[in-house]
Amino acid sequence: MDEKMVDALNSQLNAELYSSYLYLSMGSYFESEDMSGFANWMRVQAQEELMHSMKIYDYIIQRGDRVILNRIESPPTEWESALEAFEHVYSHEQKVTGLINQLVNLAISLGDHATNNFLQWFVAEQVEEEESSSGVLKKVKMANDSLSGILMLDNELAQRVFNPPAPKE
C-alpha cells in the first residue's frame, strides 16, 4: 500500500481504540451512577470498537504492511447526565463517520481499490452506529425528565449483547 494509506489506516486504528476507551469510560461513569443498563450498552459499544480496530489491524498486516500503535488519548470521565453522555456518543459517531469517509476518499485518490473495498464495510457500519446512537439519544431525550422513563430505558439497554462476527473460514 501507499505509505499515506498505511499511515491513515494506522491513525484510524488508533481512533477506533480511542473510541473503545471512550465507551469504557462512559460505562464506568454509568456504573458509578447505578445505571447498569446504560453501562452495559457502553460496554458492548466498547467491544464493537475494539473489534473495528482489530479489523483494521488485520487488514494492514494482510496487505504486508506494519501496524504502528500510538498513544491513546485519555477520554473524558464525567458527564452531567445520560443526555449529555449520549449527545457525546452521537457526536463522536458522526466524527468517526467523517474519518471513515476521509479514508475512502484517500483510497480512491490513490487508486487503492482493495482498500476502498475493505473500507465499504466501515461505511455501512457507521450508518448503523449513527442510527443506534441517535435512537438511544432520542429515547433519553423523551425520558430525560422522568425517573421512571430513565429506569425503563436502563432496563432496555441492559438487554444489549455483543455479537462478534463469525470467524473467517
The CATH number of whichever domain residue 12 belongs to comes to 1.20.1260.10
Number of domains in the chain: 1
Q: Report yes or no on 13 lying in a domain.
A: yes
* Cell numbers given for 70: 500510538
Domain containing 124 equals 3-157
Query: Average pLDDT for consecutive 10-residue bins of the chain (169 residues)?
Result: 98 98 98 97 97 97 97 96 96 98 98 98 96 96 89 94 75
0.75 exceeded by the pTM? yes
Cβ-proximal residues to 143 (8 Å cutoff; 6+ apart), any chain? 149, 150, 152, 153
Instruction: Output the pLDDT for position 167.
Output: 67
Q: Please choose, from the candidates 50, 44, 57, the residue with its C-alpha nearest in 3D space to the C-alpha of residue 9.
A: 57
Q: Report yes or no on 168 lying in a domain.
A: no
Q: Report yes or no on 164 lying in a domain.
A: no
Dist CA 155 CA 139 (whole Å): 13
Instruction: Output the pLDDT for position 165.
Output: 73
Q: Report yes or no on 33 lying in a domain.
A: yes
- Mapping DSSP to helix (H, G, I), strand (E, B) and coil, where does residue 15 land? helix
Instruction: Output the pLDDT for position 163.
Output: 85
